[in-house]
Structure 1
Amino acid sequence: MDEHILFELGVAIALVAAAGLIAYKLRFSVVPFYIIVGMLVGPHAPQLGPVDLRFIQSDDLIMIMGQMGVVFLLFYLGLEFSVDRLQKAGRSILVAGSIYLAINFSLGLLFGWIGGFSFKEILVVAGITTISSSAIVAKVLMDLKRAGNPETELILGTTLFEDVFLAVYLSILSGLILSGATSFGGVLLSALLALGYMLLILFIGRKAVPLLNRALNITSNEVFILVIFALLLLIAGFSETIHVAAAIGALLVGLIIAETEHMKRIEKMILPFRDFFGALFFFSFGLSIDPTTLGDALWLSLGAVLVTLIGANVAGLLAGRSAELSSKASTNIGLTLMARGEFSIIVANLGSAGGLSSILQPFTALYVLIMAMLTPILAKESKRIYQGIRKISGVGKR
């Protein structure tokens, strides 16, 4: 091992920590700050004496740690997800989630087609522009103290519905892109294999819950976490060998573990790893972006932002109305769910791994940055926006 790797890694983590502190002081989402600091350093950054901001020696290690961030983010998402919870949410969330996805995914497909992308790239673009960031949405609700608002349950339920869609969509997309299939039959077979693998793991996992309850009855925290990590990385790693994204493997493990009696213990122990490696995931994504290429993606990103602003808010209004919420509450739904972040980046990385257009990475970086910074601002001003819409349209009496 090169003697500078550990020092470079320390510098990288220090930069991430500084970005996090700035975001915390500004009471803003940390996601854009992590990405920006990653873009400011890397191969195009200067070397300041012993401090090499190019991260040449440690680049591979940082990227691996970033991949671990994806694994932990999706594993934790799986732990949080509950089929029972979705069922209890009832018809309102099913209808609202369907409305939100139908509008935004359709607009994403249309945007990708107008942008001149290939079929696979159109599917990636639609995924990038459709799924809300659970992390940013939750933070916006917490920072604005809207946990008790009537629309909050619908917002959280819609993000949960999106997560279910994401799991299925990623399994199909990874089979399509990573397998390299080109014919219709090959594409269909790859997608079915990925989806079949996902369903098989879930079926076996649910049947194995009693066995897992006994096997994980380990007193030692050290041995317990090692067993969980081994299970997580083995399945996530094996998934990649059969052209299914590691993120899906991690999500599947989380969904299975969520059914066991050890879920709360694992959730508590895994949270620091999710936060640490998750931060490095956003940083490593920024590190992979050449800032000079952002200009090439500027108009594409601004177009996607406009499409998302329209799609998310129209969907929010319709979803709110379907749940018989007021126009003001419905406005809050659209402005909060606009946030894009970790899931957009995961889909973009999938496209990159499949050798698709190089513009997808800078496009996603700029798009996520704009949406991650715009959402908290607009959500905070939702009252004024609602009043403005009401004056212009003359609707929204409630």
Structure 2
Amino acid sequence: MNHIVLEIGLAIALIAMAGLLSAKLRFSVIPFYILIGMAVGPHSFELWHLDFRFIESAPLIDFMGRLGVLFLLFYLGLEFSVGRLIKSGRSIAFGGTIYIAINFTLGLAFGWLSGFPLQETLVVAGITTISSSAIVAKVLVDLKRTANPETEMILGIIMFEDVFLAVYISILSGLVLSGSTSVGGVVLSALIALVFMLAMLTLGRKAAPLLNKLLNIRSNELFALVVFSGLFLVSGFSETIHVAEAIGALLLGLVLAETEHMKRIEKLILPFRDFFGAVFFFSFGLTIDPTTLGGAVWLSIAAVIVTLIGNFTAGMLAGRSAGLSHKASVNIGFTIVSRGEFSIIMANLAKAGALMTIIQPFAALYVLILAILGPLLTKETKLLYRLLNKAFRFEKKSVGVANQSEG
């Protein structure tokens, strides 16, 4: 196909068909978007002499997918509030440290036991440690869990992961690409990320009256232009200082959630969130080459098992340390189990550094499994909690602790 508009139209039609099929089967829509993307990606084959591969339009679809991540995280921030996040700051820092420590340690152990050299082991640990902000955000919104008490811990862990990612990528890129790294540069990157996040959170608490006046715009057109310009400028700026653009979108959403225009912004963003969010998961599927996955099956399955154990353990410890119920803690562990865009970034770093070729198919299959399994596990946390409660007898151990989560 040589016509970009036709390719984009066909892509949207395929995404719509995948959505309709998932609705009919009452199944999570995310796996359908990813799988249809894989089926028609640049690595797929011609069918009956018709080339359905999205080659010419792939860069544009990829950009639209990036917008989807921004809208997903921005909307999630709107559903939350800076006030709740700040109140839980100490428990979030502690919970985030627990989550990173457990999953990163397990990732290092997994890479070493799998026989990878040092650099490959460090990349594998990065792949298995960082959860997908986009998938987590969509699952929380779709399941209407944004008001749950454990959601602030989940958001806190996502932001904590981003600080870790900024530091870790700085170190790893130095080791993999140049063979050395600057301690001063790493420390500076971490400090910049922390200062930016704290500044945005402070803005959310102090600048609400000013933002209320700024956004008091009658024209819907001008209102949309102001909100969209803020979203892209803040997200773009955060990327320039090595904080993920998605985290910039999340932080701006948290800030604007403190204003009296929150509902109007939410209504404005909702259709963009749904449309571009669907395109993101489709574009993610386009990046996966199905023909390379076979050699990494057992390695990926083993990594998935390790990740499930690590996430469950970290979620329980983080949740209980914050005074949440066992049920809410189980929700934390399974909600953030999905892996996605950040794991692919780590795999691409391995490719740029000419590391072992198994890393990319391993990362692709590992991410695909957890991108499918994560939303399913999150949806079924009630059933999982009942099964785990029979095994570990949580309720007998938590007499007097209120059940703080229904979702």
Measured against the shorter chain, the TM-score band is 0.7 to 0.9
The Cα of 1:337 is off from its aligned counterpart by 3.3
2:200 to 199, 202, 206: 202
The Cα of 1:292 is off from its aligned counterpart by 1.3
Q: Any conservation in 2 of the 1:73–1:274 contact (CA below 8 Å)? A: yes
Q: Any conservation in 2 of the 1:171–1:198 contact (CA below 8 Å)? A: no
Letter in 2 for 1:165: F
| C-alpha spacing 1:73/1:172, structure 2 compared with 1 (3 Å) | farther
Task: Tell me the number of residue pairs that the alignment of Structure 1 and Structure 2 aligns.
Answer: 384
Query: Which whole-Å deviations, capped at 9, do the CAs of 1:56-76 have from their partners, x for residues lacking one?
Result: 221121111112112222322
The Cα of 1:11 is off from its aligned counterpart by 0.8
Task: Provide the residue aligned with 2:344 in structure 1.
Answer: 348
The Cα of 1:388 is off from its aligned counterpart by 6.0
Letter in 2 for 1:305: V
Task: Provide the residue aligned with 2:299 in structure 1.
Answer: 300
Q: Any conservation in 2 of the 1:317–1:331 contact (CA below 8 Å)? A: yes
The Cα of 1:204 is off from its aligned counterpart by 8.3
Q: Any conservation in 1 of the 2:313–2:333 contact (CA below 8 Å)? A: no
The Cα of 1:177 is off from its aligned counterpart by 6.5
Pair 1:161 & 2:156 matched: yes
SS of residue in 2 equivalent to 1:218: coil
Task: Provide the residue aligned with 1:191 in structure 2.
Answer: 189
In the superposition, the TM-score normalised over structure 1's length comes to: 0.78
Measure the CA separation in 2 of the matches of 1:157 and 1:204: 17
Task: Provide the residue aligned with 1:8 in structure 2.
Answer: 7
Measure the CA separation in 2 of the matches of 1:218 and 1:372: 40
Pick which of 108-117 and 222-231 moved more: 108-117
Q: Any conservation in 2 of the 1:67–1:281 contact (CA below 8 Å)? A: yes
Measure the CA separation in 2 of the matches of 1:257 and 1:178: 35
| C-alpha spacing 1:275/1:110, structure 2 compared with 1 (3 Å) | farther
Q: Any conservation in 1 of the 2:212–2:260 contact (CA below 8 Å)? A: yes
Q: Any conservation in 2 of the 1:5–1:58 contact (CA below 8 Å)? A: yes
Q: How does 1:82-121 map to 2 (within 5 A)?
A: 82-88=81-87, 99-112=98-111, 114=113, 116=116, 118=119, 121=123
SS of residue in 1 equivalent to 2:102: helix
| C-alpha spacing 1:129/1:245, structure 2 compared with 1 (3 Å) | closer
Measure the CA separation in 2 of the matches of 1:324 and 1:212: 34
Task: Provide the residue aligned with 2:66 in structure 1.
Answer: 67
Letter in 2 for 1:297: A
Task: Provide the residue aligned with 1:127 in structure 2.
Answer: 129
Q: Any conservation in 1 of the 2:30–2:371 contact (CA below 8 Å)? A: yes
Pair 1:234 & 2:230 matched: no
SS of residue in 1 equivalent to 2:362: helix
Task: Provide the residue aligned with 1:379 in structure 2.
Answer: 381
SS of residue in 1 equivalent to 2:293: helix
Measure the CA separation in 1 of the matches of 2:321 and 2:154: 17
The Cα of 1:379 is off from its aligned counterpart by 3.4
The Cα of 1:192 is off from its aligned counterpart by 3.6
Letter in 1 for 2:309: I
Measure the CA separation in 1 of the matches of 2:195 and 2:88: 28
Query: Which whole-Å deviations, capped at 9, do the CAs of 1:209-245 have from their partners, x for residues lacking one?
Result: 4443322211111111112222222333344445443
The Cα of 1:95 is off from its aligned counterpart by 6.0
The Cα of 1:362 is off from its aligned counterpart by 4.0
Q: Any conservation in 1 of the 2:150–2:324 contact (CA below 8 Å)? A: no
Q: Which runs of 5+ in 1 are unaligned?
A: none
Q: Any conservation in 1 of the 2:128–2:303 contact (CA below 8 Å)? A: no
Measure the CA separation in 2 of the matches of 1:75 and 1:178: 28
Task: Provide the residue aligned with 1:19 in structure 2.
Answer: 18
| C-alpha spacing 1:312/1:131, structure 2 compared with 1 (3 Å) | farther
Q: Any conservation in 2 of the 1:289–1:361 contact (CA below 8 Å)? A: no
Letter in 2 for 1:202: M
Measure the CA separation in 1 of the matches of 2:128 and 2:362: 13
Q: Any conservation in 1 of the 2:104–2:126 contact (CA below 8 Å)? A: no
Task: Provide the residue aligned with 2:259 in structure 1.
Answer: 260
The Cα of 1:18 is off from its aligned counterpart by 1.5
Q: Any conservation in 2 of the 1:340–1:368 contact (CA below 8 Å)? A: yes
| C-alpha spacing 1:113/1:281, structure 2 compared with 1 (3 Å) | farther
Query: Which whole-Å deviations, capped at 9, do the CAs of 1:307-337 have from their partners, x for residues lacking one?
Result: 122222333444566577777x378447633
Query: Which whole-Å deviations, capped at 9, do the CAs of 1:323-362 have from their partners, x for residues lacking one?
Result: 77777x3784476336314xx3245336637946675554
Q: Which runs of 5+ in 2 are unaligned?
A: 400-407
| C-alpha spacing 1:114/1:82, structure 2 compared with 1 (3 Å) | farther
Query: Which whole-Å deviations, capped at 9, do the CAs of 1:275-302 have from their partners, x for residues lacking one?
Result: 2111111111110111112224323321
